[in-house]
Amino acid sequence: MKKLVIVESPKKAKEIAHFLGRDFLVKATVGHFKDLPEDKMGVDLKTFEPEFVIKSPKHKQILAEIKKLAENAEVYIATDPDREGYAIGYFMYEELKKKAKSIKRSEFHEITKNHVLQKIREAPEFERTNFGLFNAFLGRRVGDRIVGYILSPIASKEIGGRFSVGRVQSPAVHLIVEREMEIKNFTSTPYYILTAYVEKDGTLYTALYEKRKIENLEEVQSVYSQISLEKESTVKDISKRKIKRSPKPPFTTSTLQQTANFVLKFAPEKTMILAQDLFESGMITYHRTDSTRLSEQAVVSIRELIEKEFSKEYLPRSPRVYKSKNTQADAHEAIRITNFVNLAQYVKLAKEKGLSEDHINILKLVYYRTLASQMEDAIFERTNITLDIKGYNFIVSGSVVVFKGYKVIYEIEEEEEHLDQLPILKKGERLRIESISLEEKFTKPPSRYTEGSLIKKLEELGIGRPSTYATIIKTIKERGYVVKEGSSLKPTENAFHLVDYLNRKYHWVIDYGFTKRMEEFLDKVEDNKEDWKSFVKKLYEKSTSGEKSVVSKKMLDYALDLAKKHGKNIDKILDDPEKLKEFIDKHAEKSPSEKQVEYAKTLAEKTGLKLTDRELSDRTLLKKFIDKARREALYSYQLSEKQKNVLIKYGREDLLEKPAEALKFIRAKLSKKKK
């Protein structure tokens, strides 16, 4: 009798199969094989029971094969150790529990031989695992579906256009819009810097006035006028102190995404894809985690590697212990390396596994951070020399490295010490002044969020969880609420329209405190302290509160433009969405654009459909013709072999005879690849 191990990824299945031997078969579900339907709500709004369906014919085929193999077999469900992974495992458990001889749960936090074999040996019966993980998944999935499916159509109708509302994505859009408004409303104010350049043994040193930023122009001009012609300064005081810098903890999902964005300019979704591959290849531990904890065994191996590569001098007397604020997070480990060899060997191993340069760049970040987290402090000696210039104090500062400590391997993403070797001086010694300058500067507005700094802010506010940060940012980019300018995220006009609308009608959706409380509620569901349906019910009640329709800014602006164009006064209906809509329908431009007319004529030639003069002169009628002609054109459209291969690759053979749906699916996939 074979033993059957079930994971999500074919790559992970292949890696694990090497460790388990001939007695085991390892099969992959290829991600979520069940989900809510794409074309309808899929939730009973009275009971909140969801209707999960098999995602595709390919998944149906995979499930049938796994069911056959599970007949009277020992089954180990080893999907990922988080809510999403557990949900896949739970669905599989439900499918197999009447067929298999036994079903156990294994959680692999790293894909290494010893770890996998240990977890298989220790696997508990699935019935004894925490079903709270599945309930938390249900709360999130069903709750998000209800919010999106109820509010998105309402927002689209009342704002005008296509808008999507999300329990977590909308607060993220709110943050970006809020920051843009801060930048827009920022008033720059002047401040002044007073600097003396002093010389010792042919070297110039910079001395800053003790009041670093002076906002009062009269005050700074008074000081400057008194000292500007001075040619000597006197050493008034010399102070030295040791500064210690401790290393950062090992990576969590959030800090890995932030660092990869800052150092490598990788988008969070790219970082997660690369980290997933590294995990499944056995190169790093599980990459979705809030934890900064390292296992005792890992710490021993890390310390041995540090001693071997850098000497005992770089090891603290006792291991560094990192604990997470959230005790629930410490059930997992931080993201760390799994092979305790030098970097050159690690990179060689990665290349042997066929991993790319991008994979290796992420791997190096994890390698450096893992080792640095267990190394000695960096020590600097900071010197401040106070100079007296006609009774005013100026400071010359500098630092020297006493001991590099962890900085021998990890200096990225940190505020650097200003390393300047200062001259040996004595109190009372006089230094020549080369020049004194007064410089006017201006305060700067806050900077836009980058993908990394947005993740940091989301984490600070308790919005989302490690597994969702990358998806949140990917979603708001794909739905056109933000665009990237360099590394910054800039909100689009639609983002302003959406936030303005939600702020006035459904403020709870973009309220950071409410979103955080909802995340905390799901944590309690996971701990079996709350019911997932209570979570969903709360969101349903808020989404259907039946509040009065509001006039969106987009509708208002359009109506005011039309009123101006037609010389109408609409002051009395500005707060009435229904009357404003009537006004817009009556006065909106009826004639189609040249582009629409040309497109309609092209479609008429292709399909043979008759295009009348009446349709060519009426925007609404022409739009109906275009929609009809496009459907007609698609009936006779033949998918190319390349397009068919894309559908087969993604398990969507069901679309081979549905060209309209197939083209929509292919376009979505290709646009994601370009991004």
Let me know whether 34 and 122 are in one domain.
yes
Edge-to-edge strand ranges of the sheet holding 3-7: 24-28, 3-7, 74-77, 102-105
| pTM of the model as a whole | 0.81
Query: What pLDDT is stored for residue 297 in this prediction?
Result: 93
Tell me which residue range forms the domain holding 294.
Answer: 253-372
Distance CA(581)–CA(162), nearest Å, equals 17
321: CB partners within 8 A, 6+ apart:
none
What are the structure tokens assigned to 570, written together? 């609409």
Pairing relation of β-strands 190-200 and 203-209? antiparallel
Q: What is the mean pLDDT of residues 258-269?
A: 93
Which of 390, 418, 442 is at the close of a domain? 442
Q: Are 567 and 170 spatial neighbours (Cβ–Cβ below 8 Å)?
A: no
Could you tell me which of 87, 61, 69 has the C-alpha nearest to residue 8? 87
267 in any annotated domain: yes
Distance CA(673)–CA(658), nearest Å, equals 23
Distance CA(70)–CA(25), nearest Å, equals 10
> What would the pLDDT profile of 643-660 be if each residue is shown by its tens digit?
777 777 667 777 777 776
Let me know whether 518 and 488 are in one domain.
yes
Domain count, the chain: 5
* pLDDT exceeds cutoff 50 at 296: yes
Sign of CA dihedral 531, 537, 538, 539: positive
CATH of the domain at 217: 2.70.20.10
> What would the pLDDT profile of 462-514 be if each residue is shown by its tens digit?
998 888 999 999 999 989 999 999 899 999 999 999 999 999 899 999 999 99
Let me know whether 206 and 299 are in one domain.
no
What are the structure tokens assigned to 196, written together? 């003396």
The one-character DSSP state at 284 is: B
Q: Which residue has the higher pLDDT, 650 or 306?
A: 306
Let me know whether 34 and 66 are in one domain.
yes
Let me know whether 419 and 535 are in one domain.
no
Could you tell me which of 622, 623, 666 has the C-alpha nearest to residue 643? 666
Which of 92, 112, 129 is at the close of a domain? 129
592 in any annotated domain: no
Strands (E), 404-540: 430-442, 482-485, 488-491
- CA separation (Å) from 493 to 249, 520, 627? 39, 32, 27
Q: Are 167 and 143 spatial neighbours (Cβ–Cβ below 8 Å)?
A: yes
Let me know whether 480 and 539 are in one domain.
yes
Distance CA(62)–CA(29), nearest Å, equals 7
Could you tell me which of 275, 437, 423, 287 has the C-alpha nearest to residue 361? 275
> What would the pLDDT profile of 80-101 be if each residue is shown by its tens digit?
999 999 999 999 999 999 999 9
Q: Are 336 and 282 spatial neighbours (Cβ–Cβ below 8 Å)?
A: no
556 in any annotated domain: no
Q: How far is CA 9 from the centre of its chain?
A: 22
HEC states along 439-459? EEEECCCCCCCEHHHHHHHHH
* pLDDT exceeds cutoff 90 at 632: no
Whether 191 is catalytic: no
Strands (E), 106-257: 190-200, 203-209, 232-245
Let me know whether 397 and 411 are in one domain.
yes
Sign of CA dihedral 323, 326, 328, 329: negative
Distance CA(494)–CA(500), nearest Å, equals 10
Let me know whether 64 and 143 are in one domain.
no
10 Å Cβ neighbour count for 451? Answer: 28
Q: What is the mean pLDDT of residues 106-123?
A: 95
* pLDDT exceeds cutoff 90 at 248: yes
> What would the pLDDT profile of 533-592 be if each residue is shown by its tens digit?
999 999 999 999 866 677 777 778 878 888 888 888 888 888 777 788 788 777 776 778
Set 286, 367, 410, 449: catalytic member: 286
Let me know whether 205 and 261 are in one domain.
no
Which of 372, 388, 413 is at the close of a domain? 372
Let me know whether 397 and 308 are in one domain.
no
Query: What pLDDT is stored for residue 416 in this prediction?
Result: 65
* Torsion angles phi and psi, residue 318, rounded to 5: -125, 155
Let me know whether 261 and 241 are in one domain.
no
CATH of the domain at 34: 3.40.50.140
Q: Which residue has the higher pLDDT, 616 or 277?
A: 277
604: CB partners within 8 A, 6+ apart:
610, 611, 629
Residue 673's pLDDT band, with cuts at 50, 70 and 90, is: low
Let me know whether 354 and 383 are in one domain.
no
Say whether 271 sits in a helix, a strand or coil. Answer: helix
